[in-house]
């Protein structure tokens, strides 16, 4: 009987010691340091925070970590968890790894044409056929086709080109629109590179919003459009 009593006391002491090892306040650290930490939808800090351990073993605290340009992280912490601290490193959203900021999208750029790509006859009529052909060559290196071409009306447009990214729910779409604004005094095209983004659900419904970013593989196209047919200038 005495042996069982000693065993019981040792067990109780062990449980008490284990309970003491579990801190009542849980510390959480996050990278990057500007990430917002939410526990049960309450903001507890940026990069570092503390919250109270759930009082019961099966009770749970819901953790959410958010930071611009990073994938949101979700986690759970149960009252019976042995840990007294948590460390979380966010993954950068693949959308930001695969695209680049650009101040040239979603607005018209005026390109004054190089004289080698147009002619002006004695009546002052401008012929930009060579410039249009070069534009086709450039754009077909980045788009599968040209959706609309009207040389006489001075208009060209590509179809939308869609891109998804690893480790991201975002989808980006881009297209190029060109219009001829030439006069005998100034032979020029206006070029607009449209760039729009949507989350997975919004993309399925065609609900895209303009964004000042461009897929990295289209950056050389922007350079070509500004330099190969002429020189970029203000409107």
Say whether both 209 and 144 belong to one domain. Answer: yes
pLDDT score, position 4: 53
Task: Report yes or no: 173 and 95 within 8 Å, Cβ to Cβ.
Answer: no
Q: Which of 163, 1, 154, 160 is nearest to 94 (CA)?
A: 163
pLDDT score, position 52: 97
DSSP, collapsed to helix, strand or coil, labels residue 97 as helix
pLDDT score, position 9: 54
Determine the length of the chain: 235
Assess whether pLDDT exceeds 90 at residue 8. no
Assess whether pLDDT exceeds 70 at residue 16. no
The whole-angstrom separation of Cα 172 and Cα 97 is 13
Averaged pLDDT of the chain: 91
* Count of the separate structural domains present in the chain: 2
The boundaries of the domain holding residue 113 are 97-233
Say whether both 78 and 184 belong to one domain. Answer: no
Domain boundary among the residues 47, 77, 92 is at 92
The predicted-structure confidence for 80-127, as pLDDT tens digits, reads as follows 999 999 999 999 999 999 999 999 999 999 999 999 999 999 999 999
Helix runs in 140-218, H state only: 200-204
Assess whether pLDDT exceeds 60 at residue 6. no
- Mean pLDDT, residues 167-186: 95
pTM across the whole model = 0.77
- Classify residue 12: in a domain, yes or no: no
């Amino acid at each position: 009987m005495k042996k069982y009593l000693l065993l019981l006391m040792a067990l109780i002491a062990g449980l008490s010691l284990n309970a003491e090892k579990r801190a009542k306040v849980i510390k959480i650290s996050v990278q990057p340091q500007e990430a917002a930490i939410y526990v049960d939808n309450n903001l507890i800090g940026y990069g570092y925070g503390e919250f109270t351990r759930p009082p019961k073993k099966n009770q749970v605290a819901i953790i959410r970590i958010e930071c611009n340009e990073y994938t949101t992280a979700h986690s759970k912490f149960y009252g019976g968890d042995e840990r007294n601290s948590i460390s979380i490193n966010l993954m950068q959203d693949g959308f930001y790894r695969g695209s680049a900021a650009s101040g040239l999208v979603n607005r018209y750029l005026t390109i004054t044409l190089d004289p080698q790509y147009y002619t002006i006859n004695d009546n002052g009529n401008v012929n930009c056929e060579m410039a249009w052909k070069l534009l086709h060559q450039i754009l077909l290196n980045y788009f599968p086709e040209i959706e609309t071409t009207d040389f006489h009306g001075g208009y060209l447009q590509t179809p939308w080109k869609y891109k998804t990214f690893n480790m991201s729910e975002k989808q980006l779409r881009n297209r190029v629109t060109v219009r001829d604004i030439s006069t005998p005094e100034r032979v020029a095209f206006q070029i607009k590179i449209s760039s729009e983004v949507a989350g997975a659900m919004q993309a399925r419904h065609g609900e895209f919003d303009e964004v000042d970013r461009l897929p990295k593989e289209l950056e050389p196209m922007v350079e070509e459009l500004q330099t190969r047919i002429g020189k970029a200038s203000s409107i």
